[in-house]
Amino acid sequence: MIPYGHQSIDDSDINEVIKVLKSNWLTQGPKVLEFEKALAKYCGVKYAIAVSNGTAALHLAYLTAGLKKGDEVMVTPNTFASVVNMLLVVGVKPVFCDIRLDTYNIDESKIEKLITKKTKAIIPLHFAGHSCEMDAIREIAKKNNLIVIEDACHGLGGRYKDKKIGSLANMSILSFHPVKPITTGEGGAILTNNQKYYKKLISLRSHGIYKDKKGKNVMTELGFNYRLTDFQAALGLSQLKKLNKFIQKRRQIAKWYQKELKNIKEIILPVELPDSYAGWHIYVIRTKDSRSRDNLMEYLKKNRVGANFHYPAVYSHPYYQKHGFKNFKFKNEDIYQKSCLTLPCYTQLVRADICYIGKLIKNYFNK
């Protein structure tokens, strides 16, 4: 089976983890800080706060931004549910904005008309590693006094114009799940240039507790245990050194797909716009006839190719249907979610794998 995604772990990664396992510090030690500094330097920001997973990163960022019950936040429906789930956790109303049908990112031209007096933030997701139009989004945010929280979970290693993804907002969220650009197993991070945010995030990550001058643990706010372990941080450090090579390989895979699939008239291939240097976290095609998408997926799976589906619109999930979003629709998002299909994209794939997948898709449509 060729899965849609897979981690890339080698002996150098394993050896770095073993060193920490043999050391005196498994958690709350020096490796986490080392990883945070390296991550901040790579992305071109002042601060990185490593946490237990990407969902924890979202939760802490929302709290640090001061989001609360009664607030509204602009978000894309084309994302993993946790992005919106954590808004509900802090009492915020998600306001969905339709997507573009070229990059499948939030449509920046439709954001401003949805802004109300209750709107406090915009959360742009760099879907599949392709950057959103951040200049336009930041201009809208500045004009309306909104916070921008960049969902960079797909985008680490990519760029928008001359800026690294992860450095384009008030806060940026990363995930280190195994299918992401680099992995720590589970894990995540928040990036920021704001010292006030940094101090708040550090506190919330560890129970709201700090040591006073006498060495006593003092709790000053209600926090959480969202810490990353030192052996996870060691894996992250090792992976980060290879990130540029990982992205180059993913970009090569995208080029192979383009060559193999460009003449199949029944599908639509993803694009890379001039201002984006995409990391190709996932490679998503669309079928022109939405009725063929599910059949193509099953055909690929029967032939040992792990096609997937990213994403059902958040508002289409049964939970959201039962909680205020029943019969909720957007034109582009609904076209997209009925026709999208994620093909395998990860660093261990070779040209022969992509040729095999391409041949299967050609065979399916030529039957």
Q: Do the domain assignments include residue 199? A: yes
Say yes or no: 115 and 139 in one domain.
yes
Q: Do the domain assignments include residue 3? A: no
Tens digit of each residue's pLDDT (9 = 90 or more) over 11-34:
999 999 999 999 999 999 999 999
Say yes or no: 176 and 284 in one domain.
no
Check residue 211 and give its pLDDT. Answer: 85
Say yes or no: 81 and 116 in one domain.
yes
Say yes or no: 167 and 73 in one domain.
yes
Q: Do the domain assignments include residue 4? A: no
> Domain ends where: 222, 240, 258?
240
Count Cβ atoms within 10 A of the Cβ of residue 176 and give its class: 0-12 exposed, 13-18 middle, 19 or more buried.
buried
Say yes or no: 20 and 126 in one domain.
yes
Say yes or no: 154 and 258 in one domain.
no
Residues 6+ apart with CB under 8 A from 249: 347
Closest CA to 200 of 318, 99, 61, 308: 61
Tens digit of each residue's pLDDT (9 = 90 or more) over 84-122:
999 999 999 999 999 999 999 999 999 999 999 999 999
pLDDT at 189 exceeding the cut of 90: yes
- Average pLDDT (66-84) is 98
pLDDT at 171 exceeding the cut of 80: yes
Contact assessment for residue 97 and residue 125, using Cβ atoms and an 8 Å cutoff:
no
Count Cβ atoms within 10 A of the Cβ of residue 15 and give its class: 0-12 exposed, 13-18 middle, 19 or more buried.
exposed
Average pLDDT, the chain: 97
pLDDT at 327 exceeding the cut of 90: no
Say yes or no: 248 and 201 in one domain.
no
The least confident of 34-43, 210-219, 227-236 is 210-219
Q: Which residue has the higher pLDDT, 34 or 329?
A: 34
- Provide the token pair at 260: 């193999």
Q: What is the CATH number of the domain that holds 85?
A: 3.40.640.10
Check residue 367 and give its pLDDT. Answer: 65
Q: Do the domain assignments include residue 6? A: no
Say yes or no: 169 and 254 in one domain.
no
The model carries a pTM of 0.96
Say yes or no: 204 and 249 in one domain.
no
- Average pLDDT (298-315) is 97
Closest CA to 364 of 335, 332, 341, 338: 341
Q: What is the CATH number of the domain that holds 311?
A: 3.90.1150.10
The whole-angstrom distance between residue 116's C-alpha and the CA centroid of its chain comes to: 27
- pLDDT confidence tier of residue 213, bands split at 50, 70 and 90: confident
pLDDT at 328 exceeding the cut of 90: no
Q: Do the domain assignments include residue 260? A: yes
Q: Do the domain assignments include residue 45? A: yes
Q: Do the domain assignments include residue 177? A: yes
CA distance 69 to 51: 24
Contact assessment for residue 184 and residue 207, using Cβ atoms and an 8 Å cutoff:
no
Say yes or no: 124 and 222 in one domain.
yes
> Domain ends where: 196, 215, 240?
240
Say yes or no: 66 and 86 in one domain.
yes
| Segments forming the whole domain that contains residue 221 | 11-97+105-240
> Domain ends where: 210, 240, 270?
240
Q: Do the domain assignments include residue 5? A: no
Provide the number of structural domains found in the chain: 2
Say yes or no: 225 and 279 in one domain.
no
